[in-house]
Amino acid sequence: MTEMHDYIVVGGGPGGCPVANRLSVDGRTTVCLLEAGGDNKHATVRVPLLLIANVPKKNGFNWAFDTVPQKGLNGRIGYQPRGKGMGGSSAINALVYMRGHPGDYDEWEAMGCPGWGYRDVLPLFRKSEHNEVFRDAFHGQGGELNVAALRTDNRYHKLLTDMLRQAGLRETDPNGAEQEGYSVAQVMQKNGERCSSANAFIEPIQATRKNLTVHLNTQATRIVFEGKRAVGVEVVQQGQARTIRARKEVILAAGALQTPQLLQLSGVGRAADLKPLGIPIVHDLPEVGYQLSDHPDFILGYQIPDADGLLGLSPKGLFGLWGQWGRYKREQRGMFTSNFAEINGFMRLTPRSPRPEVQYEFVVGLAIDHARKLEPRHGLSCHILCLRPKSRGSVKLQSARWQDAPLIDPNFLDHPDDVREMVEGAKRVDRIVKGSREIGPRIKKDLFTADCRSDADWEAVIRARADTNYHPVGTCRMGTDDRAVVDARSLKVNGLQGLRVSDASVMPAITGGNTTAPTVLISEKCAEFVLAEARASASPVHAAAMVS
């Protein structure tokens, strides 16, 4: 017998878990959540610091994609770690809860996305959030996603915040009234453990909601269509291919790289790209996989020989970590609760800038090549992000085989404005660090930028070392124009029936900050759209039950 559910959600990350939770509240509605990976309850996922075991390599928790050679990065191949398993990338990321600037959402609205302005989305951010620190009009309590203060008790918090304050910057809540400034990171943790989207939205309800089916280690390979209507998903589970049917809808939440890949494998995309691969065209939708946007990231690195607060693989550092592990097991505090990027900040490059152009993230260790190179030396790093890059890239198929990774081209630093903003941001932060009485005298060596004298020098080193900050978005852009992939008023895929998208691929412009929280927002919004349509079409008794 063919397995059938009302709704099939493809992807157990921040785009899929919230919508699966919300749709399964009504016990008469059956929901199936498909996840290609496992349950992600392993210690390397649960313990924040141990993300360093998963980010650098391909394993059961990380797809670990490569990009195509990047002409803006001197032809280098970039790296795109993406979470695999329940929680998706929220199971391996740096846990930062960051919504972006309010103006980002007003920009979405102005770009043709009615109902996505900041006044519209703030209640949904609050709905999903339980913030342990802030109780005000900008934050929520009682939501599923736990947001907490860091529990590392690291003395570098004070050193770095004193340094930034003395440079004329101010401490803010970046998710509150004013983004520009600095803060100790707000993290998606609970009692010192990671709070992924799966921990928040699925684990607490999975045992009691019998109408919610979660299939792990189940790879979606193709959307099944009857005419222009999505009616199911072909999957491979335990080596066997089968089809799971949807009575009502299929909701794609596989992320900005794999949602367009699945659409293209299913015959939805640019016909000129798909026909040469022998893929039958279901719907010619030219922008699927295009308009990829991601935050380019350059890392400043300073060797500081201090094993008390700064990570490193020295004998003293390893001995200290052993003691910290004991503390973590006793108290759920200390270095093993670190998200690495412990101090975050935003800066405008000119007084006329309506929003910050640059984000900086101080890391209590030397971050080199996505932790694929482990450093014995102790030190401090700072990520410099271009928040609103103008460069655009793409995600395309390399073959008609679902087993083959997509061709990912972020097209980093293609636009000269992106380079200019990164150069200026890096120079400013470098001056703050070296000129401070807190950090400057501690620096033994500037690892990457000691010889930079001119803007040309800075550009050269940035092009030689920059890569992603892990925030791909925009490959199934929403809008109300004829070039949009999904309709902003429903997140339905244009030209098709029974198919929506609920992940970062729908963003019409990248948000100014980390992208997990905005993806949760998109999932909440998708659930609202689905439930509103269900109420409109239901009998009065059924509609009343759904409202309650």
Domain boundaries, the chain: 1-106+197-294+396-407+472-548, 151-184+296-386+414-465
Does the pLDDT of residue 541 top 50, yes or no?
A: no
Give the range among 235-244, 252-261, 368-377, 494-503 with minimum mean pLDDT. 368-377
| Percent of the chain's residues with pLDDT above 70 | 98
- Residue 471 a catalytic site member: yes
pLDDT of 427 reads: 98
When pLDDT is cut at 50, 70 and 90, the band that residue 1 belongs to is confident
Q: What is the mean pLDDT of the chain?
A: 96
When pLDDT is cut at 50, 70 and 90, the band that residue 539 belongs to is low
pLDDT of 537 reads: 86
pLDDT of 375 reads: 84
pLDDT tens for each residue of 391-430: 999 999 999 999 999 999 999 999 999 999 999 999 999 9
Asked if 214 contacts 35 with a C-beta cutoff of 8 angstroms, the reply is yes
Please name the fold of domain 1-106+197-294+396-407+472-548: FAD/NAD(P)-binding domain (3.50.50)
List the catalytic residue out of 101, 378, 471, 542.
Answer: 471
Asked if 151 contacts 332 with a C-beta cutoff of 8 angstroms, the reply is yes
Residue 169 CA from chain centroid, whole number:
27
When pLDDT is cut at 50, 70 and 90, the band that residue 546 belongs to is low
The contacts of residue 185 (CB under 8 Å, 6+ apart) are: 95, 96, 97, 150, 339, 341, 342, 343, 344
Amino acid at 232: G
* Closest among 248, 325, 321 to 533, alpha carbons compared: 248
In the numeric block, which tokens belong to residue 477? 């852009």
Asked if 476 contacts 260 with a C-beta cutoff of 8 angstroms, the reply is yes
3-class SS of residue 165? helix
d(CA 352, CA 354): 6
Residue 213 dihedral angles phi and psi, to the nearest 5°: -110, 130
Write the Ramachandran bin of 215: left for phi over 0, alpha for psi from -120 to 50, otherwise beta.
beta
User: What value does the mean pLDDT take over residues 224-245?
Assistant: 97
Write the Ramachandran bin of 319: left for phi over 0, alpha for psi from -120 to 50, otherwise beta.
alpha
**Can you list the pairs that 268-274 forms with residues at least 24 positions away whose Cβ atoms lie under 8 Å?**
268/223, 268/493, 268/496, 273/396, 273/397, 274/397
When pLDDT is cut at 50, 70 and 90, the band that residue 538 belongs to is confident
Asked if 150 contacts 338 with a C-beta cutoff of 8 angstroms, the reply is yes
When pLDDT is cut at 50, 70 and 90, the band that residue 374 belongs to is confident
In the numeric block, which tokens belong to residue 407? 């061709």
H-type alpha helices, 400-501: 416-435, 455-465
In words, the CATH class of domain 151-184+296-386+414-465 is alpha beta
